[in-house]
Structure 1
Amino acid sequence: MLDNFPFYLILIFAIVLIMMVADKIKVAYPILLILAGLVITIIPGIPSVEIDPHFIFLIFLPPLLYEAAWSISWKELWKWRRIILSFAFVVVFLTALSVAFVANYFIPGFGLALGFLLGGIVSPPDAVSAGAILKFVKVPRTISSILEGESLLNDASSLIIFRFALVAVSTTQFVLSEAAVSLTWMVIGGIGIGLLIGWIFMKFHKYLPTDANMDIAFTLITPYIIYLAAEEVHSSGVLAVVSAGLYLSNKRHTFLSSTSRVRGYNVWQSLVFVLNGLVFTLIGLSLPAITAGLKTEGVSLYVAFGYGVLITVVLIIVRILAAYGAVITTLIMRNFIKVADGGRNPGMKGPFIIGWTGMRGVVSLAAALSIPVYLNNGNPFPQRNLIMFITFVVILLTLVVQGLTLPYLIRKFNLISEEEEAAQQLAYNTIKQELAEFALTHLESNYGQALAQQPVLKKMANKWKESKLLNEDTDITAECRGIYLDVLNQQRKWLIKKNKKDEAIDESIIRRHLHHLDMEEEKLKFM
């Protein structure tokens, strides 16, 4: 490991550069990273990289899921709970079942159990890929909420299918009653353990004498402890992490200080940035080991690639049909129960976009790599290398084909109208005015005497009075924004120059002022 340490440092540096290029050319970075991983493997002298699936599951999965749970809106998740749950569980199961029958019929040596195992591996779409693509285009909040909510849960359902199929292939036995009990425990136990440990950590934050650094340290270890505890008792570690993340996110303002929230956000953004970059590069780097195993079994790469294309087509078709099926079901059920946006016609474009956002990623690769080399009786695991290769092809094709075409389709469909954008801006400005009015009323009602005596409070009140009079027509213009940014940059230069000239001044004071300028620039992004 230490011998290859310079290689990993260079790899992280290359990942950052690739992400910079991706932002520049408006392409989702997972696409470039996986392709870069493939290119790196053909460079002479590059160390071979063997990916431990347990390493991926433990190191990468808990923090990525935990951060996603903190980022999602609980209100939106609950609003679209029916369609999110249907995609996360029902659609994943139907996808795995469809793959099982197709593999059984077209791929020699694949029984239904082995096909179901492959289906469980490739059924969950990857949230990171979709999120990276949607960053460059505008989509309705409905679609983004559904995709975010689905991504939190589909990993758990697919891994549950994978575990049961693995048992069926390894032991050639499948007892329905035992499977039902095990499934129930995995779901209920995972959610229960996550909520319990999340509640305990919330009390740690709230009652222990922590500061921002300690709070951040707690948030970093929380997902790992929850995942390990749930997996130790054979429940779903994924569901445990997700449930804890949702619970703590909803309670964040009750046990974390503002300093902890601001600093923690920055730390987590950096951590997720590095983890996502590494994991997609590792996917590309894994190809030589996969193809080497395929050659030992005498399977043609051309034929194996054809199987991968077949399974990819099945995945795309099933997801698109499921998206339109969800629309039809909603249109029918809104006559009997209350559904979200029940009076609105969802149209035909939105479901297609949801169906097309089915890129696969890290969970599929980790599940494929975790297939044991030998069965319980000592025989080699059937079709192991072919399953891993098909999984790699599915990841590659869905990322490249769907990932590159999705932004074009979203722009072509023009899902967000000018009227909808204007309505969103109007709602934002209305809340801004009402918030200023509330603050001013509270200050005048409760602190009238202090308001008359304290100049700082008078300044605050004047600011809120001005904000109260603002409307949507007084938004900061591009010219004003540019001037303000120039002033901030000139202030930075002045502070840096003063710090160099005046040796007696404490540099920490200069840094505090520089940080204030950074915060002003961040606020400008939301004006």
Structure 2
Amino acid sequence: MLQNFSFFLGLVFAIVLLIMLANKIKVAYPVLLVIAGLAIGFIPGVPHLHIAPELIFVIFLPPLLYEAAWLISWKELWRWRRIIGSFAFVVVFLTALSVAFVANYFIPGFSLALGFLLGGIVSPPDAVSAGAILKFVKVPRTLTSILEGESLLNDASSLIIFRFALIAVATGQFIWLDATLNFAWMIAGGIGIGLLIGLVFKKCHKYLPTDANMDIVLSIIAPYFMYLVAEEVHSSGVLSVVCGGLFLSHHRHSFLSSTSRIRGFNVWESLSFVLNGLVFVLIGLALPEIVDGLGGVGVSEAIGYGLLVTAVLIVGRILAAYGAVLATYIARHFITVADASPGYKGPLLLGWSGMRGVVSLAAALSIPVTLEDGSAFPQRNLILFITFVVIFTTLIVQGLTLPVLIRKLNLKPTIEKVPEETLHSEINLQLAEIGLKNLREKYTQELEQSPLLRQMADKWEAGIHLGEEGRMTPEIKGIYVQILDEQRKWLIAENKSQQLLDEAIIRKHLHRIDMEEERLKLL
């Protein structure tokens, strides 16, 4: 590992350059990273990397899931719980079932258990890929929320199917009673352990004398605790991380200071950036080793199997999306639904947003090389190759065409009737009124005596009277940024010219200007 350290450093640098290129040409960065990893893997002299499954599952998966759980809105997750639940559990199971029957019928030597194993591996779509694509195009918040919520839960359901299929292949039998009890424990244990550990970490943040640095370290440790403890007792580590992350995210303002929240957000954004980049490059780098292990199956034949499974996944997801629409139309006669007329465009987009990624690769790599009796695990290398073809094809085909499809569909918001800028203005107005009311009712004497408090009151009152006219336009933001830049230049020049001036003071003012510039992005 140490002799390849410089290679990994160069790899991280290449990832940054590739993501910059992807942003420049407006292509989802997972697409470029997988292609780059594939190209790098075939360069002579490049170190032959053996990707251990625990590297993906233990090091990469917990923090990526945890960060996703912190970013998602619990309110939106609950609002769209029916369709998210159906896609995360029902659709995943039906997808695995479809892949199992197709593989069993078309691929020689594939039993139904092996088909379910492959189905559990390739059934969960990857949230990172869809998120990277959706940031370049404008879609209704509704669809984004559904995709984000689905991605949090489908990993857990698919890995549960994968685990049971693995047991069936390894033992040659499937006991329904044991499977049902184990399934219930994996769900209940994963949820319970995640919430319990989340509660423990919440108490640590709240009652121990931590600062921002300690809070960030605790937040990095938390997902690993949740995952490892759950896996140790044979429950779902993925579900544990998701539930624990959702719990802590929902209560973040009750135990974290504003400093911890701001710094933590920046640290997690950078950490997630590096981990996601490495994962998608590793997917490409894994191919040479997979091809070498195909054995008696020809590469062209294996590619054909992979494309067949990919077609089943794409068609099955689109049919499932329209099935969800049909269920919504039926359900609106009996219960109140959030959106009774989703139309045909939304399901098509939802169905096409099914790129596969890191979870599928990790699951495939975790298949043991041998069975308990020492014999080779049946079809392991072919499963690995089919998984790679599925990931590569969905990323390239769906990843490159999804932005075009979104623009062609020209989706209109179904729930968000009020423009986002108007909502921002209304909330700012209400906040100004609350601030002014509290100052005048609770701090009357201080308001009369303090010029600074009167200045704050005047600022809020001006905002209330100006209303929509007081909204900061892009032109005003540009002027303000230029003024801040001039202030920054003066501070730097002053620091150079005044040799006796403490630079720590200058740095505090520079940090304040940086924070003010960041605040402008939220206005």
Please give the range of the TM-score, normalised by the shorter of the 2 chains. Answer: over 0.9
Cα distance change on mapping 1:438 and 1:349 into 2, 3 Å: same
TM-score of the two chains, using structure 1 as the length reference: 0.97
Structure 1 Cα separation of the partners of residues 195 and 336 of structure 2: 29
Correspondence for 2:282: 282
Which residue of 474, 480, 483 corresponds with 1:478? 474
Partner of 1:245: 245
1:484 maps to amino acid: Y
Q: 1:301 matched to which residue of 2?
A: 299
| Gap runs ≥5 in structure 1 | none
Aligned residue for 2:87? 87
Tell me if the contact between 2:91 and 2:317 (Cα under 8 Å) persists in the aligned partners. Answer: yes
AA at the equivalent of 1:45? G
Which residue matches 1:318? Answer: 316
User: Contact 1:53–1:370 at 8 Å: present in 2 too?
Assistant: yes
1:411 aligns with 2:407: yes
- Is the 8 Å Cα contact of residues 125 and 360 (structure 1) preserved in structure 2? yes
Q: Is the 8 A contact 1:138 1:416 kept in 2?
A: no
The answer to whether 1:383 aligns with 2:372 is: no
Corresponding position: 1:372 with 2:364: no
- From 455, 465, 487, the counterpart of 2:461: 465
1:501-512 aligned within 5 A: 501-512=497-508
Q: What letter is aligned with 2:137?
A: V
Matched-pair contact (CA < 8 Å) for 1:19–1:29: yes
Counterpart Cα distance in 2 of 1:151 and 1:419: 21
Question: Using the alignment, how far apart are the partners of 1:375 and 1:472 within structure 2?
Answer: 69
**Cα deviation, residue 473, structure 1:** 4.5
String of CA shifts for 1:437-474, please: whole Å, max 9, x gaps: 11111121111111111111111111111222243344
Please name the residue that 1:134 is paired with: 134
Deviates more, 1:429-438 or 1:117-126: 429-438
Q: Matches of 2:257 and 2:418 in 1, distance apart? A: 34
| Alpha-carbon distance, 1:421 to partner | 7.7
Unaligned runs of 5+ in 2: none
2:293 match: secondary structure: helix
Counterpart Cα distance in 2 of 1:119 and 1:470: 59
Q: TM-score, normalised by structure 2?
A: 0.98
Q: In 1, distance between residues paired with 2:338 and 2:466?
A: 32
Q: Is the 8 A contact 2:60 2:275 kept in 1?
A: yes
CA apart distance, 1:389? 0.3
Match of 2:332 in 1: 334
8 Å CA contact 2:142–2:415 kept in 1: the answer is: no
Q: CA deviation at 1:14?
A: 0.6
Partner of 1:352: 348
- For residues 162-218 of structure 1, the C-alpha deviation after alignment (integer angstroms, 9 at most, x for no partner) is 000001011110000000000000000010011111101111111111111111111
**1:449 paired residue number:** 445
Task: Determine the C-alpha separation between the residues in 1 that align with 2:50 and 2:291.
Answer: 13
Aligned to 1:144: 144
SS in 2 for 1:3: helix
Per-residue CA deviations over 1:23-58 (Å, capped at 9, x if unaligned) read 111111111111110111122211111101111100
Report the 3-state secondary structure (helix = DSSP H, G, I; strand = E; otherwise coil) of the residue aligned with 1:4: helix
Q: Considering only aligned residues, what root-mean-square deviation do their CA atoms show, in Å? A: 1.4
* Structure 1 residue 124, shift from structure 2 partner: 0.2
Q: Distance in 1 between matches of 2:303 and 2:31?
A: 19
State the alpha-carbon separation in 1 of the partners of residues 466 and 65 from structure 2.
40
- Read off the aligned partner of 1:332 and give its amino acid letter: I
Give SS of 1:375's match: coil
Count of aligned residue pairs for this structure pair: 523
Aligned to 1:499: 495
CA–CA distance in structure 2, aligned partners of residues 447 and 256 of structure 1: 27
Q: 1:195 and 1:422, CA in 2 relative to 1: closer, same or farther beyond 3 A?
A: closer
Find the counterpart in structure 1 of residue 2 from structure 2.
Answer: 2
1:43 matched to which residue of 2? 43
Moved more, 86-95 or 420-429: 420-429
Choose 264-273 or 432-441, whichever is displaced more: 432-441
